[in-house]
Amino acid sequence: MALYGGLIFGPAATQWYSFLQKYIHVRSQNATIAARVLADQVVFAPCNMALFLSSMSIMEGSDPKEKLEKTYLPGLKANWVLWPAVQAVNFKLVPLEHRVLVVNIVSLGWNCFLSWLNSSK
């Protein structure tokens, strides 16, 4: 988990949040936040979920294709229950330089849930 977080997620999320901050602006602050959450959940979340599950599978010595087939859609659906609200608060209240930290804190519980989901399949 530390390897994935430090080498893959941390740098990718930092760049992604900078991109959102720089390029996604619409007519009001709330509309901008909604657009950023939408972009995050439609672009970044599906890619990150696939990369996370594949990476964990490879590091565990199991078949990434099998893990994706079993857990990708349930994990992504669960993602869309929790993360839009987290990201809305994150984008509205947290300065850019602390957003990855907020996500990492919430991810502690989220990753436990994903592990449970994976073990129950």
* Per-residue pLDDT band at 59 (split at 50, 70, 90): confident
pLDDT at position 64 over 90: yes
1-16 mean pLDDT: 86
In this prediction the pTM is: 0.88
Contact 50, 72 (CB under 8 A): yes
* Per-residue pLDDT band at 3 (split at 50, 70, 90): confident
* Per-residue pLDDT band at 66 (split at 50, 70, 90): very high
Torsions phi, psi for 24 (to 5 deg): -105, 105
* Per-residue pLDDT band at 115 (split at 50, 70, 90): confident
Distance of CA 96 to the CA centre of its chain: 16
pLDDT at position 47 over 80: yes
Here the tokens at position 68 are 């994706």
d(CA 27, CA 14): 25
